[in-house]
Every structure is written in structure tokens, then in C-alpha cells.
Amino acid sequence: MPTLSGVLSVARKDRAIAGAVKNLGEETLHITAPDEVRPWLVGALSAHVPLLVVTASGREAEDLTAELTAMMGDKVMYYPSWETLPHERLSPGVDIIGQQAKVLHHLDSLDVVVTAARGLAQPLVNEVTGRDPVTVTVGEDYPFEELIDSLVFRSYSRVDLVAARGEFAVRGGIIDIFPTTANNPVRVEFWGDEVTEITTFAVADQRTYSDGQLKKVDLYPARALPITDEIKKRAEALARTYGGNQALAQIVGKVAEGISADGMETLIPVLTDSPLVTIVDKLPEGAHVLLVDPERIRTRVGDLKATDTEFLEAGWELAAMGGDGPVDHKDLDLEPSSYRSLESLEVTAREHEIPLWTLTPPGMMASDDAETLPLSFGDLVRPRGDEKKISQLMEQLLAHTLAGGAAVYISPQKANCARFGDKLHERGIAHVQGTEGMKPKAGAVTIYQAFSHNGVVFVPQDSETPLVVVTETDVTGNRVGDIAGAKRRKAKKRNRVDPLALTAGDYVVHETHGIGRFVKMTEREVRTGDDTSRREYIVLEYAPSRRGGPPDQLYVPMDSLDLLSKYVGGEKPTVSKMGGADWKKTKKKARSAVKEIAAELVDLYAKRRAAPGHAFAPDSPWQAEMEDNFPYVETEDQMLAIDAVKHDMEQPVPMDRVIIGDVGYGKTEVAVRAAFKAVQDGKQVAVLVPTTLLAQQHEATFRERMDGFGITIRQLSRFTPDKQAREIIKGLVDGSVDIVIGTHRLLQTGVQWKDLGLVIVDEEQRFGVEHKEHIKALRAHVDVLTMSATPIPRTLEMSMSGIREMTTILTPPQDRRPVLTYVGAQEDKQVAAAIRRELLRDGQVFYVHNRVKSIEERARQLRELVPEARIVVAHGQMSEEQLEKTVQGFWDREFDVLVCTTIVETGLDIANANTLIVENAHHMGLSQLHQLRGRVGRSRERAYAYFLYPKGQVLTETSYERLTTIAQNNDMGAGMAVAMKDLEMRGAGNVLGAEQSGHIAGVGFDLYVRLVEEAVEAFRALADGKPLDATDQQSAEIRVDLPVDSHIPDDYIASERLRLEIYRKLAASRTEEDLRGVMEEMSDRYGPLPEPVLRLLSVTRLRHLARRAGIVDIALQGTRVKLHPLELPDSKQVRLKRLYPGSSYRPAAKAVQVKVPKSGAGRVNDKELRDTELVQWVADVIAALCDEEEIDVTGAHSGKDNKKKKVISVGGGRSSKK
């Protein structure tokens, strides 16, 4: 039952509200009432008739939906609008299409549908085949192939790996689907055609959630118009008729082939006969339409129509310049897909005899001759954070409850509810905790954990005592977020899915043979004696051994995949010669160069390890309360980062952790929690940021999050007046200041601390060298937490080397969407249209013009282009005070467009700015473009980024590559990919110094990092007094050449990329525990393990054993197995002869040859041992000769160590469960 349904049942009896209900059925009515009454009034009216409620903006619609959901549960739905314009070559997001289809499907059973002006004015196809969902239910039959066809028809994309809504993947009897209306993808398992299980899973590691079982799943379409045969025919005809219009031909050409094309929605009027209607036409009988603020809705719809026309015109101008024009054509009637005017919607309502009511704040007149019904309500004290008024409110509540009246307090935060309860207790006011559906109790304050913006006083018809409703916003003035706690999941350590994506021609580094080119993956039959077995290989191409000859090819078996990595380094590398001396030389040089770095790193590490750090206490109850107040749902990665940081802080060694996360992925919250933890232990915290603007924003965030906990937070930057700065510095010395947030001014001499415990560094790469040295000096004795969006490769490399711990936050916050990115020539009309589109949704625009000289002139031109926009200029050469005021004004929404230099790149967080326009983008570096783009798309709105270059400009190859990279990497969490690509393109020279970057180019980034790791391990071992392995420290390639049919069959994992990923994980495994993890992952993602895979696991266990025993070569030669290298003392040679008659040992070659027994009793006709039996026998031989623990290669006895109970000879593999 919805939490507030009991309160709503009392509100429905309010005298004013009951008066409005009496008028139901009237054709028109103009109601005036305070804003806070809206949700309650809608809740009361909808008890009698279905309602369509329309607000001016999407944000108001979402908020109203959230408030109504707390009262009415799933009887309320939000009908979203397309974020694209009708004549744009972009398709709306699949989540929006899915949600629209869901609302239309349930329309007859809903009490309230809420939409924005845009959703009201947007046309939709009346009848669509495939708009209703496909419902898949556990225990019922659903033909497997039919489900795949249904998904394809509903425009789901078939992929290897499901990562976004509207995608699906097929593997054996499993279909992974990301429904367009769901927050997590689902895994549907079949037995034949019966659905046996439906489970939700995580995108990050593709593993199912333990609590994710579902009984059924509804699959709504991903496109507004699924492509039927009829639509294909029409598209073919259009392609023949309008072949000359390139934009049009491209789209209809794809549709004719049954492929959904971007922007095809524009052509809906000519692709289908079904008329285009609006949501008003679809309403059930008896429904009423309620327009909230009708004049604002009218303006909004008018602006929408104007912007759409403008976009169309801008498109035609682009076409005239030879660019991609709009899809429109003078002979095509595409008008039906344009927005409807409010007047035409009013006519539609009258035609369907649907009453059209309006609701405005008190005092607003009706725009027509509709009757006006004013509703008035009792007065309520709203303190909004004012302590004096809070006391007045408490007195009001005390008097009210003592007189037997009922009152209600509502907050979405559990901790806030508890805190308010404590306040009531202190004043002696009776209170109870409200449960779902409970009615407010007379003579007490009932506290509900739910979402509601503003309170109101109701006077029921049957009583003289009013019901007083108060919300958290009334008391504190804070705008509350929707209730988050309910959706949280316990984070667990997850291994990321990171398929080694190789395409033909990619450069690959093989640790032994050097740099080669990837050709393909292939399967070969290997003959051993009379036996043949199938195995998969990766084929690499190397430089020809003879001048002018063909390239040499190397077949790398899948169990050696841990020796391969993709080449990331400078320009195109030189392909190595197999067996040549060059590669050895290059690697040797790199290895010795790495030693210097490693020594420096280990020195720092040793200092840190030796330094006595402060071990922070476990979380306090205050910590839990502060964390409960977080208004969003933490993402899984964010929780892992928070847990890792706390764990580090609780150790007696100074923390040094880097958190890498895309801009706006919630790194600040990690910092807030760490800082709070430090202050709870009586320590002080320094937060270092590169710019004053960032300092200001962090201060606001920290203050808001730590409000009410008695923590002193100050900001110290170049803008802080001297007198104030002296006070802050004094506060740091005497301990009265707990947290100080500042720029490098904090690093100046003269800043002393009473007890500094934690330093948080944001965007470290933006600090100068001497500042970095200063931070480095701090690292040895206090906890340091570094945060970065695009990591500098140097940090990347240090983090990867285990010297600094690294956590990556890769999951975007739940409602963030990728930024739509345009790259193209600059055209004023397009710029004006882009700015207007943003103003339409009350948003703001960043306009980046990176020349201070001409920036004022550009702002003047923009004012002429878009006169209605409030435009302001900001750049680094302004006086500090002026700059501060300007940005503050933009932050406070006093301006619409901020024309600025790249100053915004440094972490400005303005959630309302969702369009970014960058001039001369071809002059900027990749990480700079990425950082800039990260400034938009930080709220629920879809964001747009335009990277423009001058018309007619010829781009250099590097600029072109940079811009295409930024356009392609527009998915969330692209920061890491961009950093790697940046490293590739800049050759890493300016980051690591020229010499090191030469070595990176020589051996590739991955191998370079691995060499650093090895060197670090070696130095660490020395520092810890352990003996250092004198051999050349590299992972030896272990060759297992036995007649074992061990591979991953195509029909088990069809995608090469995903097979490669599993092979790589198996090759990289070192322990039975690692192997268990890969096995569990395989059976979770792909179903029960087939025989060849079980045999592959047996071979992997044999490799583990061989590695421990120091053996690198196991091969069947005739009837004998050769093991090498193996040194046997006399006693072992005796054992060899006794246990394995007919064996031989060659001391000079360090090789042992053991005769393979026959299977069965050893009779003449018995077969040779092969497959798992042979692998087990070889494992037994190695265990016997090398004093290793015996193992069971099938893993049947495996605990963690997989030790064998007794020597057994195992036949065949194990059968898998289904």
C-alpha cells in the first residue's frame, strides 16, 4: 500500500477539495489554489475520474509524479516526451519510447497520467503493431526463436554483450535482454521452449544478482515504429522517388532493409497510413484533462513549434553548403509529425467531450470565460531553516496535538525522520512512526518516510480540527530528492568484463616474441600419434624472416593468452622479427629503465609503510545518519569506492588511493564521506582543488551534506579577504576549523595544522610541479585521497603498479544519459537553434570561445542571434572578484548563456546547464574535450555537445582523429578509454619524460606497466629481506602439448570477442580460487559447462601445477610425455625408475621422459590414455617427482586448494548439470 494513502484519504475530505470534486463533469473549470495543494487535489479528483495532468516543464511533471506515487502507488505514471525535435536527424532515447508504450498499454487502468507540455503537443501513431509488450513468464512456454524475432521486430539491437537499454544477446539456451523500461538487464534461461528462470544481472561484470529472481518480464519496444513488411515497401518506393536527397535516401534505404535508422521518426507520416494523434485522443471514457499553469504551457508549446521550424531552416542552410540537410522534402507532407498547438488540442478535447480544467496559483484569472473556483487553505508556519520560526512551528504543533488534532511530518530520508522525532521528543510533543497506508493519529504527529515537497493545512468536512501536514522542505528549506534508500543494493567486489577487443590489423604485444599484427582466431586439429584433438589459436603476423618473403605467422594457443596484450604506445610500431635480437634488446632496455622508476616508487612506498599512520575508528552512528541523508541512490562502483577508502583509513598505514571516475559520477560524495569520517575521529581535513570556482562548489556541497552535525567548514582561496584568511589559518592551528577547502593557497608556507588527518586532492593533474611535490611530501605521513576524471598516465601507471591503490567508478548515476555529441562545421543558424532549444526547457548553455581578445565581440554577435537569451562573459583575465560574481550569477540562474574560455573545463558543476557549444574544437586536446563535455548532462535532462570548427577548414589528421574519438566515446564512463587513446596520440612524452615514453612506445603500455610491477615486486622483496629470484623476471610461457580436446565450442560462446575474454581469464588464473571464479562466471553467463570446456579447465589446473613446479614444457612425443626443465637428485631418479619403469632422465638437457600407460588393464588392444585421464596422469607424475601436493584435475574435490584425497586415475570429464 502506498505510504501516504492514509493521509490522502483524510485530505480528500477537505472542504475546499470536496467543493472541487462536486464540479466533476463540468466542461471547463478554472481552479485557483496554492502550489502545495496540487498533488493532494489531483489525488482527490482521481478517486472519481481518470486524469491527464499537464505541467509546463518535464521537471515539474517528474516531481508531481513522484509526489503522487507516494500517495497512490502504481496507479500513477509519467508520460515522457521525446527529447529530439520532430524534424531532427536523431531518434528519441529507447527508454522514452519504452515508457511511452508502457503508459499507453496501461492507460485504461491508470488513475493519473502526468506529462509535460512537450508530451501533450507531441504526435504519436494511433495504431502500431508491436507497441504492446512481449511478456515472458517463468514456467510457461515461449518459442525461443520467436522471442528473438519479437525482439528484433521491436528494434532491440543484437549484441555480444548487453550494456544499454534496448539490447539483447543470445548464448545457447540463454537470452540476455535489457528491457527499455528497466533499470537492470535480465537473463532469461530456457529448457527447450520453456522459460526456467528470469534473473536480473549487473552490466559491469555480467553476473546475476543473488536477489534478482523475477517471475515475469515485460518487453516494450525500442522504437516508435517497428518495421513491418508494409513499411519496408513504402520505404523502397520513397528511396526510388527521392534518391537525389542524400539525407532522405540514407534513412529510407536502411528502413527498406528492415534496419531502424537514426531520425526515421521524422518520416512516420509517409511510412504508415495510421493517423498521428496525441495522448488526448487515447484517453479512456470519462477522463478529465487538468492544465497546471495554462499560460506557461501555451508559451512553451508556441516556443517548441518555433524552434522546430528554426531547426528545419538551419538544416536547409547546411544542405545548401553541402552538409547533411534535413530529411524534409517539399513534395512530402511531414506536417503531421510537427507539434500540435494548444488551440488544436483544446478542439480535440471538445470533440471527444473531455472536460478541460485549468489550475493556477491564487489571483490568476482564467484566460477564457470559464467559471473560476478559488480554493483556500489554513496558514502554516514555514521556517525554511530559520531557527526562530522552527520554534514557532513547534509551538503550533504542540498546541494542535494537545487539542486532539492530528499532524503529519514527511521526509524521504530515514535519518531526517529520526532527527525530527528527537526534536518533537525534546519539546514534549507526542509522535508516532507512520507505516504504509496508516491514517494520521489524533493528538500526535505521525512521521512518514515518503516524498512530498510542501505542507498544507486541511479542514475535513466532518470535523472542526484541521489536519496539519509539514514536510522536510518546510522545516529546513532544502529541496528534497526522491526517496533513495529503497533502491540500494549491497555492493560486492566485481571483476569487470573487459573483452580484449581485437580487430584484424591491430598491433599486439607477445611477451616472448614482440610486436605482431593480429590476423584472426582459428581452430586447428592437432595430431598426436593416432589421436587428433581440436584447439583454438590466435594467429599473429610478424616481420618476414627472409627479405621480400611473406610475413611469418605465429599460432598462439589460448592457454598462453596471458602473454598477449593490445599495443598502446606512440605512432605505429615496427613489427618484430620472430626470434630476432631486436625485441630482446628493446625489452631489456625498457626493463632497466623501469628499475629507476621502480626504485623511486618503492622508496616512497617504504616510507609510507614505515610511517606510523592514524588508524581511524570504524563508522560512528553519526556517519550512518549522514550517509542516509544522501538524496540519490549510490551506484555499485561508488559503494565499492567508499568501502575501499574507509578500509584504507582504518589501517595503521597512511592511505594513498586514487579514485578515477567520469565527471559527475559521484566522486565528491566519496570525498564527503571520507572527510566526515576523519572529523569524527577529531582530525582535520584539507580539500585541495585547482580553481576557486571548484572550491566554492565543493564548499556548498560539503556544507549541505554535513548540515546539522556541528562541523566547521571554511574555504580558503585567492578570493578570501586577508582578515578572513588570517582567521581561518588561526582556526587551523587551534583546531576550531575542521575542514578547509581551498586552492594551492593551502600549500603555502605559514599554513599550520593542529592535527591534519586527511588530504583530498581533486583533479590532481591540474596542479603545477612544485604543488605536486608538496602534496607528495604530505603523502608519507597523512592519508591522501586523490580524485581524477581523466587520469594522467603517470598516475595511471603508479596506480596500476600497486603503489597507490586505484578504484574506478564506471557506472553512471541511474538517471544520467550519454551526451548527444555533434561534430561539424560552424553555422550561426544551427548555433542559435541549439541555444533556443535549451532555453525552451529552462536550461542553460556553456559557449566556449577560447580567445580572450575576441570573446566580447562573439558575445555581442550571440546577443544579436538570440536576443531573448541573457548572455554573460567569463574568462581568466577578468578581475577575480568579477569572475567570481559572473559565475555565481550563472550558477544562480541569473543568466542563460555563459560565453567563456576553457575555464569551465575545471570542474564547474552546474546541473542546469545541458548544452555545450565549443568553437574551434579542432585546436583542443582530447582530454580537454572530454572534460568540457563532462560539464553537461549532469541532471535528468538529455544533454547536447556541439564541437564545431570553422566552415571550409581543412582538418589535420590528428585533429580529425581527436574529434572522431570524442564523437565515438560518448557513452558514459568513457574517461578511461579517452585517457588511453590520449596516451597513444601524445606518445606519453610530456607525461613521463621523453626517455620513458620511448620505452613505452617500444614495448607497449600494458607490458611497460607489467615490467614496472615486476620491478616493484622485486624491490619490495629486497626491502622485506626476501631472496630475489635471479632469473629474468618474466611470466614463463608454459606449453602443454597433449592430445586433449580442450576448447570453448562456438555453440557455447558464439562471439569471438567473448571467447577470447574467457580464454584470457583462464590463462591469467593462478589459483584454484581464480579458476572457480571463472567457472561460476561461465555457468552464470553462458549456462552449464560442456565437456570440451571441462577439459580446458583440467589443462588449466595442470598448468597451475606446472608453474608451481617450475616446468614450462609438457609434450607428448610418441608414447612418452616429456617434462622440461626438471632437475632430479639421485633419490628422485630412483623414485622415477621405481614408479615409472621405462622412463629416462637426461641431466644435461634437464628433461624427463615418462612412458604413458594404456587405459584399462594395460592389454595390447587397450587405447592410449587421452583427454582428462591423460591430464590427471601427467599431474600425478609431476606431483610425485616434484614433491608437490597431488591435485584432482577435474576439480571434483576442490575446496580452495583442490588437493586430491588419494591417487586415482580419472576417466573422462564430469557431466554437467542442466
Question: At CA 111, angle to CA 108 and CA 117, rounded to 5?
Answer: 90
What pLDDT sits at residue 612? 77
More confident residue, 1018 or 920: 920
What's the pLDDT tens digit per position in 275-292? 999 999 999 999 999 999
User: For 342-360, what is the mean pLDDT?
Assistant: 93
Q: What are phi and psi of 596, to 5 degrees?
A: -60, -50
| Residue 225 one-letter amino acid | L
The mean per-residue pLDDT over the stretch 51-63 comes to 93
- Cα 191 to Cα 178: distance, rounded to the nearest angstrom: 21
| Lookup: cell for 852 | 580572450
What is the per-residue pLDDT for 391? 92
Cell numbers 553476473 correspond to 207
Judge whether residue 497 has pLDDT over 60.
no
Q: Please provide the distance, in angstroms rounded to a whole number, between the alpha carbons at the two ends of the chain.
A: 40
Return the higher-pLDDT residue of 485 and 430. Answer: 430
In this prediction, residue 1205 carries a pLDDT of 43
How many residues in total does the chain contain?
Answer: 1218
In whole angstroms, give the CA distance from residue 176 to residue 1058: 14
Q: Which sign does the torsion angle of CA 1170, 1173, 1175, 1179 carry?
A: negative
pLDDT of 1094 reads 94
Contact 873, 899 (CB under 8 A): yes
Give the DSSP per-residue string, 1116-1167.
EETTEEEEES----HHHHHHHHHHSTT-EEETTTTEEEEEPPBSTT--TTPP
Q: Is the pLDDT of residue 995 over 50?
A: yes
Residue in this structure with the C-alpha cell 531518434, named with its chain if needed: 91
CB 382: neighbour CB atoms within 10 A? 18
Smallest CA-to-CA distance from 373 within 51, 42, 16 is with: 16
More confidently predicted of 1004 and 460: 460
Residue 889 has pLDDT above 80, yes or no: yes
pLDDT in tens, 665-708: 788 999 999 999 999 999 999 999 987 778 888 998 999 889 87
* Dist. CA 999–CA 570, nearest whole Å: 10
Grid coordinates representing 93 are: 532515447
Burial (CB < 10 A; 0-12, 13-18, 19+), residue 731, is middle
In this structure, are strands 157-158 and 167-171 parallel, antiparallel, or unpaired? parallel
Confidence of residue 549 (pLDDT cuts 50, 70, 90): confident
- What pLDDT, on a 0 to 100 scale, did the predictor assign at position 968? 61
Q: Residue 31 half-sphere exposure, CB side, CA atoms within 13 Å?
A: 28
Lowest mean pLDDT among 339-343, 811-815, 893-897, 942-946: 811-815
All cell numbers assigned to 507: 598491433
Return the pLDDT at 320: 54
Residues sharing a CB contact under 8 Å with residue 721, sequence separation 6 or more, in sequence order: none
pLDDT > 70? residue 904: no
What cell does 90 get? Answer: 536523431
Candidate from 169-173, 368-372, 476-480, 904-908 with smallest mean pLDDT: 904-908
The per-residue pLDDT for 731 is: 94
CA distance 639 to 647: 12
**The pLDDT value given to residue 994:** 47
pLDDT at 227: 93
Domains of the chain: 5-127+275-374 (3.40.50.300), 134-219 (3.30.2060.10), 393-483 (3.40.50.11140), 611-809 (3.40.50.300), 820-971 (3.40.50.300), 1039-1186 (3.90.1150.50)
pLDDT at 815: 61
Task: Return the residue matching grid coordinates 495522448.
Answer: 279
What sign does the CA torsion over 795, 800, 801, 803 have?
Answer: positive
Contacts of 1003 (CB under 8 A, 6+ apart): 509, 569, 586, 587, 590, 1011
pLDDT of residue 182: 92
% of the chain exceeding 90 in pLDDT: 42
Flag whether pLDDT at 867 surpasses 90.
yes
Find, among 166, 183, 181, 218, the residue nearest to 80 by Cα. Answer: 181
All three cell numbers of 1053, joined, read 560462446
Count of CB atoms situated within 10 Å of the CB of 1068: 13
**Is the predicted pLDDT of residue 1173 greater than 80, yes or no?**
yes
Per-residue pLDDT for 36 more than 50?
yes
Which 8-state DSSP code applies to residue 82? Answer: -
With CA atoms as reference, report the closest residue to 622 among 671, 679, 667, 670: 679
pLDDT band at 972 (very low <50, low <70, confident <90, very high): very low
Pairing relationship of beta strands 1120-1124 and 1144-1146 according to DSSP bridges = unpaired
Average pLDDT, stretch 881-895?
83
Q: Which residue has the higher pLDDT, 226 or 581?
A: 226
Confidence band for 491, pLDDT divided at 50, 70 and 90: very low
Condensed to tens digits (0 to 9), the pLDDT of residues 801-858 reads 555 677 777 766 666 677 787 887 888 888 998 898 888 878 899 999 988 999 999 9
Per-residue pLDDT, 1039: 86
What is the residue whose three cell numbers read 567508478?
Answer: 809
> Beta strands of 726-861 (E only): which ranges?
739-742, 756-762, 783-788, 805-809, 820-825, 844-848
Top pLDDT among 819 and 1065 is at: 1065
The CA distance from 677 to 685, in Å, is: 10
Residue 621 has pLDDT above 90, yes or no: no
Select the more confidently predicted residue: 1000 or 1091.
1091
Residue 1198 gets which letter from DSSP? Answer: -
pLDDT tier for residue 429 given thresholds of 50, 70 and 90? very high
Indicate if the pLDDT at residue 989 is higher than 70. no
pLDDT reading at 917 higher than 90: yes
CA dist 813 and 410 (Å) reads 25
C-alpha cell at position 429: 510533543
Count of Cβ atoms closer than 10 Å to residue 880 Cβ: 12
Q: Find the helix packing angle between 581-610 and 989-1003, rounded to 10°.
A: 130
**How far is it, in rounded angstroms, from Cα 1075 to Cα 186?**
25
Mean pLDDT for the chain overall: 83
* Mean pLDDT within 166-184: 92
Q: Using 50, 70 and 90 to split pLDDT, how confident is the model at 1152?
A: very high
Report the C-alpha dihedral over residues 1102, 1104, 1110, 1115, rounded to 10 degrees.
Answer: 30
For range 883-909, the mean pLDDT:
79
Interatomic CA distance for residues 571 and 574, integer angstroms: 9
User: What's this model's pTM, rounded to 2 decimal places?
Assistant: 0.78
- Burial of 1200 (C-beta count, 10 Å sphere; 0-12/13-18/19+): exposed
pLDDT of 1212 higher than 50: no
Residue range 645-658: average pLDDT? 90
Reported as a single tens digit per residue, the pLDDT across 299-324 is 999 988 888 887 777 665 555 555 55
**Most confidently modeled range among 393-397, 577-581, 598-602, 763-767:** 393-397
